[in-house]
Amino acid sequence: MSTPISGFSKLSKSQKISWLAENYFNDPQAGIAVLEQYWNSDTKLQQLHDEFIENTLTNYYLPLGIAPNFSINDKLYAIPMAIEESSVVAAASNAAKFWLDKGGFKASIISTLKNGQVHLNFYGDAKRLQQFFEQVKPTLLKDCEQITANMRKRGGGIISLELRDKTAELDGYYQLHATFETLDAMGANFINSCLEQFATSLLREASNSDLILEQDRLEVVMSILSNYVPECIVKAEVSCPLDQLAQAGMSGQEFATKFVRAVQIAQTEVRRAVTHNKGIMNGIDAVVLATGNDFRAVEAGVHAYASKNGHYGSLTHAKIEDDNFHFWIEIPLAIGTVGGLTKLHPLVRLCFEMLGNPGAKELMQIMAVAGLAQNFAALRSLTTTGIQKGHMKMHLMNILNQLEATPQEKEAAVEHFKANTVSHAAAVAFLESLRP
């Protein structure tokens, strides 16, 4: 059994790996060999990756695929997707092809504001606190001018600052709520720097104010941006006449009616909604990762938005109106095209090049379309042939690799399962039939 280690972060990479192997690997040399197998032979590139995070041991690969033929606002895109799940890229590509001759996808930006809060304790009179805030607000904003100078030159900056009384939810709880426009930057560091300056200035001014008494116990608890961004919204949509939807032995009216019902179920039943929205995020997260953005922040904000009405439900919507099918999504996406890994990671830079080096607004639209396409593909399968037929076909190669199939066996299996149902058991049985 291993014992705690002191000063681990100060060890060299090789020392960290040796310690890990000796304490946690069943076969230390085999474990080290796997870690080293994923090192990049370009030492400069490997150093770049090593410096992205702390205590780096090796690189963790995800496949980077491409989904072509996406028509978005009459512009053709090939969308890069970094994801490990089988059938996601294929589903997105199929949806893109399906809508290509039906007008493609339309997307628009509804709003782009982000926000953050200085969280406060205050147990005095709320009116005095509000009066104090109104007095010092100009000073708080002025103290941030050096931080915001470059952002303001580009047209962004602090949009608003207000004091919010949250004592109905939590005794003594107030917050300074600030909204920001960060343009092409995701803006986390910018927002947090502004918030921390607000906090510092607020406490300084409070110490010299007759309105804030010692017994009020004014205290800054924390200053941090929010990943819930319901004022940073993008919309993506598709539509076409019902007669263009006929498929799988169903008329366009039949298919659309069943499809709309499937969305309504996801809007009503939380157990379905979670899986429904997970499929949407298959598409969005894959593009978020490929472009070096923060998929954890996006996920957290998106799922909070799905609960904005007090009930977790579908992020997508569908309807039939005047013999036309309409399918759309409105979703919060706080992402960036500058800062972070966007200019550091060589593959991220290449993915941006594939997309035509979009700004943040254009990238928001691309991501929303990827999510809508993924959801359309999933619901199309679910309401017609079922999802497993296509998914397991794509999953076949993973099963064959787990079973250590030879190239010849893989070729034979792919041919066999063109006409047969894929399952792990069926793959085992087929390989056993080939092997002596």
Residue in 278, 303, 393, 424 annotated catalytic? 278
Same domain, residue pair 129 and 271: no
Phi–psi pair at 211, nearest 5 degrees: -80, -20
Half-sphere exposure in the Cβ direction for 44 (13 Å, CA): 2
Left, alpha or beta for 324 (phi > 0: left; psi -120 to 50: alpha)? beta
Strand-by-strand arrangement of the 173-181 sheet: 157-165, 173-181, 114-121, 219-225
Domain end call among 164, 199, 225: 225
Same domain, residue pair 37 and 131: no
Same domain, residue pair 28 and 146: no
Please tell me the predicted confidence (pLDDT) of residue 25. Answer: 95
Same domain, residue pair 315 and 349: yes
Same domain, residue pair 286 and 347: yes
Q: Which residue has the tokens 């904003």?
A: 141
**C-alpha closest to that of 244 among 63, 101, 415, 80:** 101
**Residue 391 among the catalytic residues:** yes
Residue in 294, 345, 362, 395 annotated catalytic? 294
| Positive or negative torsion for Cα 422, 424, 426, 427 | positive
pLDDT digit string, tens, across residues 203-219:
999 999 999 999 999 99
Residue in 119, 276, 345, 391 annotated catalytic? 391
- Going by pLDDT thresholds of 50, 70 and 90, the confidence category of residue 393 is low
- In this predicted structure, the answer to whether residue 91 has a pLDDT above a threshold of 90 is yes
Q: Which domain holds residue 31?
A: 8-50
Same domain, residue pair 215 and 237: no
What the block records as the tokens of 292 is: 């070096």
**C-alpha closest to that of 276 among 301, 302, 296:** 302
Same domain, residue pair 120 and 182: yes
Percent of the chain surpassing pLDDT 70: 97
Does residue 36 form part of some domain?
yes
For residue 11, give every residue at least 6 positions away whose Cβ sits within 8 Å of its Cβ, in sequence order, or none.
Answer: 19
The number of domains in the chain is: 4
Domain end call among 194, 225, 256: 225
- Going by pLDDT thresholds of 50, 70 and 90, the confidence category of residue 240 is very high
Does residue 264 form part of some domain?
yes
Same domain, residue pair 29 and 125: no
Percent of the chain surpassing pLDDT 90: 85
Does residue 58 form part of some domain?
no
The answer to whether the beta carbons of residues 175 and 166 sit under 8 Å apart is yes
Does residue 59 form part of some domain?
no
Q: By CB neighbour count within 10 A (0-12 exposed, 13-18 middle, 19+ buried), where does 113 fall?
A: middle
For residue 89, give every residue at least 6 positions away whose Cβ sits within 8 Å of its Cβ, in sequence order, or none.
Answer: 65, 66, 67, 81, 83, 286
Report helix angle 295-305 to 270-290, nearest 10. Answer: 150
Does residue 325 form part of some domain?
yes
**Residue 205 among the catalytic residues:** no
Please tell me the predicted confidence (pLDDT) of residue 433. Answer: 85
Cα–Cα distance measured from residue 27 to residue 31, given in angstroms and rounded to the nearest whole number: 6
Does residue 286 form part of some domain?
yes
Same domain, residue pair 245 and 304: yes
Please tell me the predicted confidence (pLDDT) of residue 32. Answer: 97
Same domain, residue pair 245 and 315: yes
Does residue 418 form part of some domain?
yes
Residue in 13, 16, 85, 97 annotated catalytic? 85
Same domain, residue pair 265 and 330: yes
pLDDT digit string, tens, across residues 302-358:
999 999 999 999 999 999 999 999 999 999 999 999 988 888 999 999 999 999 999
Note the helical H segments in 171-324: 188-206, 252-268, 270-290, 295-305
Q: Which residue has the tokens 């020392």?
A: 15
Same domain, residue pair 347 and 242: yes
CB-CB neighbours of 351 under 10 Å: 22
- In this predicted structure, the answer to whether residue 141 has a pLDDT above a threshold of 80 is yes
Domain end call among 225, 245, 261: 225
Does residue 176 form part of some domain?
yes
